[in-house]
Structure 1
Amino acid sequence: MKKLPVYLMMMVLSLSILPSTIFAAEKNTTAITANTKEVPAEVKVMYNRLEEIKTMDKSSLTSVEKKELRKEVRAIKANLKSTGNGVYFSVGAIIIIILLLILLL
């Protein structure tokens, strides 16, 4: 009988977490970045090239051509990361900042 509240609490927590993960998976990141602010022309060209590579039929390519495509995709993604104007924080950094704020305030 003492385990019943624990099981009920676990069930409620697991059911409350489930819908948030489902909704998070439905978002399209390329559409969000394209709609929020103006994207420079060179970035649009890179996104278009990535979409072309994704839609390609790679079954007819040789292994050397596939390697070249992989290298090109990695280079484009590295360029897109470097052109990003935002400041990104990791989850660990956010937790440390919150803990520091709690301790100092």
Structure 2
Amino acid sequence: MKTIAYFLSLVFLVTSLAPAAVAKDVKEENSLTPEEELRLEEISERVAEIRAMDFAKMSKAEKRELRKELREINKETKALSGGVYLSVGAIIVILLILILIT
């Protein structure tokens, strides 16, 4: 029983410290190139323009086009930032699998 408790405490310790260590490496590796920084600046300016627009005077088609454009911008910015994210549910499932295996 003690060995299981020690093992679980070790697993929780490693899983709590590992993301911080990986995050530091990812930030250094995924530094943006000047072209990517310029593109992100253009995207942020375009989003600011869209937010400044008066949507009450627009037709449904125009609003739909803007929504599509914003979705594409969102996808592009996610691709440029490039991060790996784990949800809490995924972490719980991984821990349960590890517990069941031992």
TM-score (norm 2): 0.53
Structure 2 gap ranges (5+) = 1-30
Q: Name the structure with the higher helix share.
A: 2
Identity %: 42
Match of 1:40 among 32, 37, 40: 37
Paired residue for 2:96?
99
CA deviation after TM superposition for structure 1 residue 102, in Å: 5.2
Cα shift readout 1:29-58 (whole Å, capped 9, x = no counterpart): xxxxxxxx7671211211221122122111
What letter is aligned with 1:41?
L
Paired residue for 2:67?
70
What letter is aligned with 1:90?
S
SS in 2 for 1:87: coil
Q: Whole-Å Cα distance in 1 between the matches of residues 74 and 101 of structure 2?
A: 39
Q: CA RMSD in A?
A: 2.4
Structure having greater relative contact order (Cα 8 Å, sep ≥ 6): 2
Q: How does 1:1-105 map to 2 (within 5 A)?
A: 40-100=37-97
CA deviation after TM superposition for structure 1 residue 103, in Å: 5.7
TM-score (norm 1): 0.52
SS in 1 for 2:84: coil
Q: Whole-Å Cα distance in 1 between the matches of residues 52 and 98 of structure 2?
A: 47
